[in-house]
Structure 1
C-alpha cells in the first residue's frame, strides 16, 4: 500500500513538472525595455575579430539600410506621383473655370483704360437736380461696385490657380529629386553587393560566410535596428525635460548683464539621463573639443553616437544635436539611417522652454562642459 502511494506521488509530480513546462511562454528574446522599464539581459550576434569579416558585415549592414531607404523612397514616389497628377487636374479645372472671369475682367480693365466709364462720371457731375444726382450716384456706385467685385473674384481665383500650379511644379521637382536619389542609392547597393559577393568568394569557407552575413542581416532587421530606436526614443523623451532640469540645477544657468550663460557638465547631463531612464545606467555623454560623444553598452550590445551641437533659428530657436556617426556593435550605420533617425527623433534642446524670451546664440563644447550663450529676445 505504501509503495503504491509513493508511486502515485511520483507520477503526480512528473505530470506537474510536464504541465508547468508546457505552460511556459515561448517568447523571443529582446535586447532592451521600453523607456522607464528595466532592460532585460541583452542578446546579440557576436562580432568577429577578423577584419575582412567585419568589413563584409559593415557592407551588409549598409546594403540592408540603403535597401530600406529605397523602399521608403519608392513609397514616397508613388505618393508624390499621385499628388502631382491631382494638382495638374485641379490646375486644368481652375483654368477652365477662370476663363470666363478672365475675359470679363479684361473687358472691365479695357473699359477704364479706353475711357468708357468716363461718361458715367460726367453725367454724375453734370446732374441738374438733387433727385437725378442721387439716381446717377446709385447707378454709378452699383456699376463700379460690380466691376470691383468681378475684378476681386478674378484676382482671388487667379492667385489660387497660381498657388496650385506652383505646388504642382514644386511636387514635380521633389519627385525628380526622389528619382535621382533612388537611382544613386541603387548604384550604391549594386556596388556593395558586388564587393560582398567578391568577399564571400575569396573567403576560406564561402558557404559559412554567406550564412553568417544572412544571419547578421536578419539580426539587424529584427533586433538591432529596434534596439537603436529604443535608445533614440528614450533620449528624445528625456531631452524634453532637460530645460526644467537646467532651470532647477544650481550653478548651471548664470546671468551676465543682458545675457545668460549655460554651463552643462558631463556629470550633470549623465545624472539627469539616469534619473529619467534606467536604459542610461551604462550610457554616458562626453563633451569634447567642439564635439559630443554618447556611448553605452547593455550586455553584448554597444552603441556610440558622435555628433555636435549647432544653433537652429527657425522654426524654433534651439540647440540641435547633429548626429555625425552612429556605431552599432562596432559597425557604422550609413548616412541614410542617420537621416532617418534625425527625422524620427528630436534630440534638440530648446532654451525658450526655460524662459520664453531666451534664445541660444552660441554653443561650444570642451573639457567636459557644454557652453551655451543665451540672449534676451522679446
Structure 2
C-alpha cells in the first residue's frame, strides 16, 4: 500500500469518526474510577436508608391521622357528657341561689324527736353529697374535654411536622435517585455497580444494623452506670475545691471501664480528641466507625451528659443523618451524675485530647 493511499484511508477513517454522534464514538459510556464507583455505591446506601425513613414517616402520618379521628370522636362524646353534667350542676346551683336548699335545712328545726332529727340530718347529708357529686362530675368532665382538645391540637401539630419532614425527605430521595440513575446510565459498569449497591444494602440490613444496635444497647447501659463507677474511685473526682468540682477521665480508663461492662464492647475503641470523640471497631466482617461528642443537656431537675452521634460509618460507607436520628430514638447514650451523687449537678462538659472533663456544682 502506497503512502498516499494509506494517508487517504486514515483521512477517511478520521472523517467517519468525527461524523459519528458522541454516544457512538464513545461506545456505551465511560468506565468509572474506583473513587467514582465508591461514590455511587455510597449514594445507593444513602438512598436505601432515606427510603426507609420516608416509609416510616408515611406510616407515622397514617397513625397520627387515625389518632386525630379517634380524638375527634372522643371529644364529641365528651361534649355530650359535659352538656349532661352541666344541666345537673345548673339545677344544683339554681337551688342554692333561689334558697331552695335553705328551706330544706330549716326542716331540721321542725322535727319533734331526736330520732327524726337524725333521719332528717342523714337525708340532708345525702342531698349535699349528691350536690357535690353533680358539681364535681361537671368539673371533671370539663377538664377531660379540655385535655382531649389539647391532645387534638398536639396531634394536628405533630401531623403537620411529620408531613413537612416527609416532603423534605421525599424530595431528597427523588433527587438522589435521579442522580444515581443518570450516573449509572453513563457508566459502562452500571450492572456491576448496581450489584455492589445491592450487596452493600443487604449486608447493612442483615449484618450491620444488628451489630450497631448491639453496640448501642451495651453503650447505653455502660454510659448510664458510669457515674456510679466514677464515685467509687477518688482518682476520677476532684472535690478539693468547692468552687471547681471536677470529674476527669482519660480515654484509656474509659475503654477499660466499657470492656469490663461488656465483652461486645471489647471490639470497640474510643479515642478522645479536642472537641470530639471517635470510636472504631470490627466484629466479624462488620467494620463500624462512630464520631460524636459529649454535650451538656440542661433539664429542670438534673442535667445530663449526653453522647451525641454526628457520624456513623459501616464498612467505610457513611450512613445518613436519618439513620443516626432513628437509632437515637431507641438508645439513650448519656449519664446523669446527680442520680448517684445527689448533691452534685453538671454545669459544663469539655472534650480534650485524651481526656473528658465534667465540671460540677453543689446542688443542695
Counterpart selection for 2:170 from 186, 196, 208 = 186
RCO higher in structure (CA 8 A, sep ≥6): 1
Deviation at 1:347, TM superposition (A): 1.6
Once residues 89 and 118 of structure 1 are traced to their aligned partners in structure 2, the CA distance between those partners, rounded to angstroms, is 39
Counterpart selection for 1:293 from 265, 278, 288 = 278
Match of 1:358 in 2: 344
Deviates more, 1:229-238 or 1:160-169: 229-238
CA 86–299 in structure 1, closer or farther in 2 if over 3 Å, else same = closer
Deviates more, 1:256-265 or 1:151-160: 256-265
TM-score calculated relative to the size of structure 2: 0.78
Once residues 264 and 312 of structure 1 are traced to their aligned partners in structure 2, the CA distance between those partners, rounded to angstroms, is 19
TM-score calculated relative to the size of structure 1: 0.75
Deviation at 1:238, TM superposition (A): 2.5
Counting only pairs closer than 5 Å after superposition, residues 210-225 of structure 1 correspond to structure 2 as 210-225=194-209
RMSD of aligned Cα (Å): 3.3
Once residues 64 and 111 of structure 2 are traced to their aligned partners in structure 1, the CA distance between those partners, rounded to angstroms, is 66
Once residues 79 and 90 of structure 1 are traced to their aligned partners in structure 2, the CA distance between those partners, rounded to angstroms, is 16
The alignment partner of 2:335 has SS state of coil
Q: Deviations over 1:41-67 (max 9, x none)?
A: xxxxxxx98221222122211111112
Once residues 216 and 110 of structure 2 are traced to their aligned partners in structure 1, the CA distance between those partners, rounded to angstroms, is 84
Q: 5+ unaligned residues in a row in structure 1: which ranges? A: 1-47
Match of 1:117 in 2: 99
1:302 equivalenced with 2:287 (yes/no): yes
Asked if 2 retains the 8 angstrom alpha-carbon contact of 1:120 and 1:140, the reply is no
Asked if 2 retains the 8 angstrom alpha-carbon contact of 1:295 and 1:304, the reply is yes
The alignment partner of 1:264 has SS state of strand
1:105 equivalenced with 2:89 (yes/no): yes
Deviates more, 1:240-249 or 1:204-213: 240-249
Counterpart selection for 2:304 from 297, 310, 318 = 318
Counterpart selection for 1:207 from 183, 191, 197 = 191
CA 102–219 in structure 1, closer or farther in 2 if over 3 Å, else same = same
CA 294–149 in structure 1, closer or farther in 2 if over 3 Å, else same = same
Asked if 1 retains the 8 angstrom alpha-carbon contact of 2:85 and 2:138, the reply is yes
Match of 1:228 in 2: 212
Once residues 197 and 126 of structure 2 are traced to their aligned partners in structure 1, the CA distance between those partners, rounded to angstroms, is 81
Number of aligned positions between the proteins: 329
Once residues 227 and 146 of structure 1 are traced to their aligned partners in structure 2, the CA distance between those partners, rounded to angstroms, is 63
Counting only pairs closer than 5 Å after superposition, residues 9-20 of structure 1 correspond to structure 2 as none
Deviation at 1:123, TM superposition (A): 9.2
Asked if 1 retains the 8 angstrom alpha-carbon contact of 2:312 and 2:324, the reply is yes
Deviation at 1:263, TM superposition (A): 0.5
Deviation at 1:353, TM superposition (A): 4.2
Counting only pairs closer than 5 Å after superposition, residues 263-278 of structure 1 correspond to structure 2 as 263-278=248-263
